[in-house]
Amino acid sequence: MVSPNNDLAARLRGFGPLGILAILIILAGNLVIAPLSAILVLLWTKISKTPWREIGYVRPRSWPTTIAIGIILGVTLKFLMKAVVMPLLGAPPINQAYHFVTGNPAVMPALFVTMIVTAGFGEETFFRGWMFERLGKLLGHGRTAKILIVLTTSLLFASVHYFEQGIPGVEQALITGFAFGSIFAITGTIFLLMIAHAAFDLTALWMIYYDLETKIAHLIFN
């Protein structure tokens, strides 16, 4: 006999009415407050008895190594995007959406927390961990399925940046989403990506605060 708790968990993991309702609630979470969707993902994982490893929550073999690699990855990727990729795409050197940060120490504490909690924890848990798990259940875990999942999640990740940052924000998010998604598809672990994502955004914040965007954007292509 199946216990009520096990039956509820199975229905939450499935794609019947209750499973779809759970998906819609999680998707709507960030419309209320960021990063509510990620918190709902953790709640869904617990109640549905989904193994934590399936959303990438796998303890690293070495936290110091993971933190170090994550920081290096995030910082390096941001510099490559700013100095090479975005100039080649014809993006303006200044991120107008966040230009108010330049020389403005009053906004830094809140933005610092936002970059870590909303971007590092929230977006990676939601776009990589949870979406990969849900789409993996639908499409499978073969090579073609993984490529499709990486592309789909990257497009969704990029689209949410349009209203705040316009086309340049979409272009940057698409590329970074593809990079992070590819790493997740290969490794299946998320903590490295959380650290890298936070480091990426904090590096961007540093560039903007010290008014270095134009200088770095013209570092290679004058």
Look at residues 182, 185, 157 and name the one whose alpha carbon lies nearest to residue 171. 157
Asked if 66 and 123 sit in the same domain, the reply is yes
DSSP annotation of 129: I
d(CA 192, CA 144): 24
Asked if 63 and 35 sit in the same domain, the reply is no
Asked if 175 and 204 sit in the same domain, the reply is yes
The answer to whether residue 106 sits within a structural domain is yes
The whole-model pTM stands at 0.95
Asked if 118 and 23 sit in the same domain, the reply is no
Asked if 9 and 76 sit in the same domain, the reply is no
pLDDT tens figures, 110-149 = 999 999 999 999 999 999 999 999 999 999 999 999 999 9
Asked if 27 and 71 sit in the same domain, the reply is no
pLDDT tens figures, 167-215 = 999 999 999 999 999 999 999 999 999 999 999 999 999 999 999 999 9
Asked if 99 and 143 sit in the same domain, the reply is yes
| pLDDT at res. 2 | 52
Alpha carbon 191 to chain centroid distance? 11
Domain boundary among 50, 70, 88: 50
The answer to whether residue 222 sits within a structural domain is no
Domain of 3 in residue numbering reads as: 1-50
Residue 152: pLDDT band with limits 50, 70, 90: very high
| pLDDT at res. 80 | 97
As for how many domains the chain has, the answer is 2
Asked if 90 and 3 sit in the same domain, the reply is no
Asked if 46 and 59 sit in the same domain, the reply is no
d(CA 22, CA 29): 11
Asked if 88 and 35 sit in the same domain, the reply is no
Asked if 44 and 93 sit in the same domain, the reply is no
